[in-house]
Amino acid sequence: MIKSNIKLLVLSFLLLISLKPLQSAEMADPIKVDWSFKGLTGTFDRASLQRGFQVYKEVCASCHSMQYLSYRNLGESGGPEFSEQEVKAIAASFEIEDGPDSQGEMFTRPGKPSDKFKSPYPNVQAATAANGGAYPPDMSVLVKARKGGANYIYSVLVGYEDPPPGVTLDEGVYYNKYMAGNKIKMPNNLTDGLVEYADGTESTVDQMAKDVTTFLAWAAEPELEERHKTGVKVIIYLVLLTILVYLSMKKIWSRIDSEV
Amino acid sequence: MSEHEYTPKSKAGKWFNDRLPLLTLGAHLTDYPTPKNLNYWWTFGGILTFCLITQIVTGIVLAMHYVAHADLAFASVEHIMRDVNYGWLIRYIHSNGASMFFLAVYIHIFRSLFYGSYKSPREVIWIIGLMIYLLMMAAAFMGYVLPWGQMSFWGATVITNLFSAIPLVGDSITTWLWGAYSVDNPTLNRFFSLHYLIPFLILGLVVLHIWALHVPGNNNPVGIDIKKPSKDTVPFHPYITIKDAFALLVFMIIFAGFVFFTPNVLGHSDNYIPANPLVTPAHIVPEWYLLPFYAILRSVPDKLGGVILMFSAIFILFVLPWLDTSKVRSAVFRPIYRQFFWILVIDVLMLGYVGAMPAEGIYLVLARVGTIYYFLHFIIVMPVVGYLEKTDPIPMSISEPVLTGGAEPSLARKVNDKV
């Protein structure tokens, strides 16, 4: 009786923590992709991260900021792992405003690995004004900031369609079946062959969407690989310690006529 | 407290102990006679102490890097996640630690409800425990505001707005709480200050909670008074310490599972969007551990009524020892109350579920039914069942049913039942 109730209790709790996200009726479920970074020991695909950075730099970065990342992050372990020279070259390709100097003047200089990613607009208002009243969200933690995470971001990137009959769209609004309300102000920026991948991979829309989503997933959780690795070690350690403590407990309680 | 006289062996120890009897306290805590039939539901006190200390330690480190300013808070959290050594680990332990803390406290509270641990002579332990629980909710709510994400901001707006339901002075109180005319930088600053203060208040209350516990001693699954020390008790150390350690380790494995493999599953994705007073999220929901109360709040069409009912849902627990008329503590010997206990558990879980759903249609109906049962359980069921119920025979001592068994075999099995 009590035991079955406990089962019910556990089930109810699982139900509680696995509540399906609320979705509007006209929003399609995101496509499920078998990401390499899923699961307990998931890691990022290094080549995909590097390609994804290229897509970000050449396509997304013209509107979206990534203000919490620094160029040095691109060379850190668990990320795209560009070489030190590559990171320096990437950083130096941006003009960064610095100052004030000893004369009180602001000046620009080539970027350094310690600089944060340069934002395309000076502030949110400028970004909003330049994009038809819709602020292109900062992408640093975008994957964590959306229900469905990487699957959702990927789905939106490949989810552009002609609107079904009867749906009229305003100027500068596009139809996307994975977006809430199916309306998005970001145009479909990906076309086959848009970027020329340095590693020779064919740049289909699907490939670019996967690569840039992988890059964004890393950007949102740069600690993911270390977290997974540490987690496995911690759990193994805890399980072994638990067994030892359990055996000690059994031994100690065997001194008296009571069960533990 | 004084089962025996303790005298330190060393001269220095005796000298010190005569002036501050810390060694006597240590000896008391070590020898503290504990019922030997405590089951694993009794290990959550130790687990909760661990949770509190974990939150305080990780919180102190986080506060070294966090910036309590509306323009900088979100960025400082990202700084912790990216640039501070193991900042991600410390923050994920702290954020998931809050959930684990509440998971443990709910089990602890329901254990008390099942075994009647709130009843005489343990009313004061129960009331101090409820005060801890109230402070925990305040600390958790304010802590959730600190990252200054969308759910932080709008959660704070919804909850602080509840006070505006108070007649006449409501709006003034809300403005006073905010320190501004809306949730803004002054609100964030004071929430940070209070969020840092409250855990130490909780720590003080925990000391009182344990002190009050050590006066009558632990309740136990049989719920009867026992002679201390006797063959029904074991010294706290090593018997209970090792058992608590084992249970704590199992708890830590689950905790680590969340921290390392699904650190954000218990949070809301909207809280990774920086707070924006101009954009309201589609659904404003509190953290899971506050959902049952949120459901009660929204089940009433009137704002003031909802607020009153929500606070009543907590404060009714304070008078629980006097609403329960049964002379028998443990639900093991209360066949009728036991059924109602499980209905209450399911009721609270259901309220939590509908609290996460939009307040409309079937969810609103369920919320209302759940709310009505919640109050009926305490106001009607507890006094009436306690009065009318024919309880099962209670053993004379913990050892008796286990050792002799003969007279009441079914009873012996029940008592032995390690729930």
Q: Which of residues 151-170 of A touch B (CB under 8 A)?
A: none
- pLDDT by residue (tens digit) across B38-93? 999 999 999 999 999 999 999 999 999 999 999 999 999 999 999 999 999 999 99
Tokens found for residue A186: 């970001």
Query: A245: which chain B residues are within 8 Å (Cβ-Cβ)?
Result: 242, 245-246, 249
Range of weakest confidence among B93-107, B222-236, B282-296: B222-236
Q: Within this chain, do residues A64 and A137 fall inside the same structural domain, yes or no?
A: yes
Q: What's the pLDDT score for residue B415?
A: 45
- pLDDT by residue (tens digit) across A146-166? 999 999 999 999 999 999 998
- Determine the angle formed by the axes of helices B87-115 and B123-145, rounding to 10 degrees: 150
Q: Within this chain, do residues B254 and B355 fall inside the same structural domain, yes or no?
A: no
Q: Which residue has the tokens 């139809």?
A: A175
Which one of B246, B248, B414 would you mutate to disrupt binding with A, by most A Cβ within 10 Å of its Cβ?
B246
CB of B36 closer than 8 Å to CB of A258:
yes
Query: Number of folded domains in chain B?
Result: 2
How many contacts, defined by CB atoms under 8 Å, are there between A and B? 118
Q: Within this chain, do residues B256 and B335 fall inside the same structural domain, yes or no?
A: no
Q: Within this chain, do residues A123 and A233 fall inside the same structural domain, yes or no?
A: no
Q: Within this chain, do residues A199 and A231 fall inside the same structural domain, yes or no?
A: no
How far apart are the CA of A13 and the nearest CA of chain B, in angstroms? 7
Nearest CA in chain A to B414: A2
Q: How far is CA B391 from CA B119, B339, B416, in A?
A: 16, 13, 18
pLDDT one digit per residue (tens) for chain A, 260 residues? 455 555 555 565 555 555 444 444 468 999 999 999 999 999 999 999 999 999 999 999 999 999 999 999 999 999 999 999 999 999 999 999 999 999 999 999 999 999 999 999 999 999 999 998 999 999 999 999 999 999 999 999 999 999 999 898 998 999 999 998 899 999 999 999 999 999 999 999 999 999 999 999 999 999 999 999 999 999 999 999 999 999 999 999 999 988 87
Q: How far is CA B74 from CA B274, B276, B402, in A?
A: 6, 12, 58
* Cβ contact B419–A2 (<8 Å): yes
B126 has a pLDDT exceeding 80: yes
Nearest CA in chain B to A140: B78
B322-335 mean pLDDT: 96
Distance CA B334, CA B167 (A): 44
Q: Within this chain, do residues A129 and A211 fall inside the same structural domain, yes or no?
A: yes
Partner-chain residue, chosen from B36, B256, B346, that has the shortest CB–CB distance to A235: B256
3-state secondary structure of A17: helix
* Cβ contact B260–A227 (<8 Å): yes
Residue at B35 is within a domain = no
Phi-psi map region of A81: left, alpha, beta (phi>0 left; psi -120 to 50 alpha):
left
Distance CA B396, CA B70 (A): 62
Q: Within this chain, do residues A140 and A191 fall inside the same structural domain, yes or no?
A: yes
Residue at A81 is within a domain = no
Contacts of B372 (CB under 8 A, 6+ apart): none
Q: Within this chain, do residues A56 and A165 fall inside the same structural domain, yes or no?
A: yes
CB of A71 closer than 8 Å to CB of A117:
yes
B401 has a pLDDT exceeding 70: no
Q: Within this chain, do residues A148 and A168 fall inside the same structural domain, yes or no?
A: yes
Q: Return the percentage of chain B with pLDDT > 70, whole number.
A: 94
Q: Within this chain, do residues B202 and B54 fall inside the same structural domain, yes or no?
A: yes
CB of A54 closer than 8 Å to CB of A195:
yes
The last residue of one of the domains, among B268, B284, B300, is B284
Q: What's the pLDDT score for residue A3?
A: 54
Nearest CA in chain A to B42: A260
How far apart are the CA of B100 and the nearest CA of chain A, in angstroms? 12
Q: Within this chain, do residues A126 and A38 fall inside the same structural domain, yes or no?
A: yes
To the nearest whole number, what is the mean pLDDT of chain B?
Answer: 93
Closest Cα partner for A12 from B294, B138, B310, B106? B106
Query: B358: which chain A residues are within 8 Å (Cβ-Cβ)?
Result: 22
How far apart are the CA of A252 and the nearest CA of chain B, in angstroms? 7
Q: What is the CATH number of the domain that holds B102?
A: 1.20.810.10
Q: What is the CATH number of the domain that holds A152?
A: 1.10.760.10
pLDDT band with cut points at 50, 70 and 90 for residue B397: confident
CB of A59 closer than 8 Å to CB of A189:
yes
Q: Find the domain containing B386 and state its range.
A: 310-392
Nearest CA in chain A to B75: A68
Residue at B147 is within a domain = yes
Residue at B135 is within a domain = yes
Residue at A16 is within a domain = no
pLDDT band with cut points at 50, 70 and 90 for residue B2: very low
Q: Within this chain, do residues A135 and A180 fall inside the same structural domain, yes or no?
A: yes
Query: B357: which chain A residues are within 8 Å (Cβ-Cβ)?
Result: 22
Residue at B86 is within a domain = yes
To the nearest whole number, what is the mean pLDDT of chain A?
Answer: 92
- pLDDT by residue (tens digit) across A46-66? 999 999 999 999 999 999 999
Query: A253: which chain B residues are within 8 Å (Cβ-Cβ)?
Result: 239, 242-243
Q: Within this chain, do residues A120 and A249 fall inside the same structural domain, yes or no?
A: no
CB of A17 closer than 8 Å to CB of B288:
yes
* Cβ contact B238–A145 (<8 Å): no
Q: Within this chain, do residues A143 and A231 fall inside the same structural domain, yes or no?
A: no
ipTM at complex level? 0.91
Q: Within this chain, do residues B274 and B356 fall inside the same structural domain, yes or no?
A: no
With 0-12 / 13-18 / 19 or more C-beta atoms within 10 angstroms meaning exposed / middle / buried, residue A104 is exposed
| Chain B touched by A234 (CB under 8 Å) | yes
Distance CA A204, CA A202 (A): 6
* Cβ contact A68–B252 (<8 Å): no
Distance CA A118, CA A108 (A): 12
What residue type is A170 in one-letter code?
D
| Chain B touched by A248 (CB under 8 Å) | yes
Q: Find the domain containing A191 and state its range.
A: 22-69+116-222
Distance CA B364, CA B369 (A): 9
| Chain B touched by A103 (CB under 8 Å) | no
Q: What's the pLDDT score for residue B15?
A: 97
Q: Which residue has the tokens 């396509």?
A: A59
Bridge partners of residue A98, in order along the sequence:
A107
Q: Within this chain, do residues B326 and B193 fall inside the same structural domain, yes or no?
A: no
With vertex at residue B48, the alpha carbon angle to CA B44 and CA B50, rounded to the nearest 5 degrees, is: 115
Residue at A235 is within a domain = yes
* Cβ contact A258–B288 (<8 Å): no
Q: Return the percentage of chain B with pLDDT > 90, whole number.
A: 90
Query: Number of folded domains in chain A?
Result: 2
Q: Return the percentage of chain A with pLDDT > 70, whole number.
A: 90
Report the relative pairing of strands A107-110 and A174-175 from DSSP bridges. unpaired
Distance CA A123, CA A128 (A): 9
Nearest CA in chain A to B151: A145
With vertex at residue B239, the alpha carbon angle to CA B237 and CA B240, rounded to the nearest 5 degrees, is: 80
Q: What's the pLDDT score for residue A24?
A: 46
Q: Within this chain, do residues A52 and A159 fall inside the same structural domain, yes or no?
A: yes
How far apart are the CA of B353 and the nearest CA of chain A, in angstroms? 6
Residue at B407 is within a domain = no
Report the relative pairing of strands A174-175 and A183-184 from DSSP bridges. antiparallel
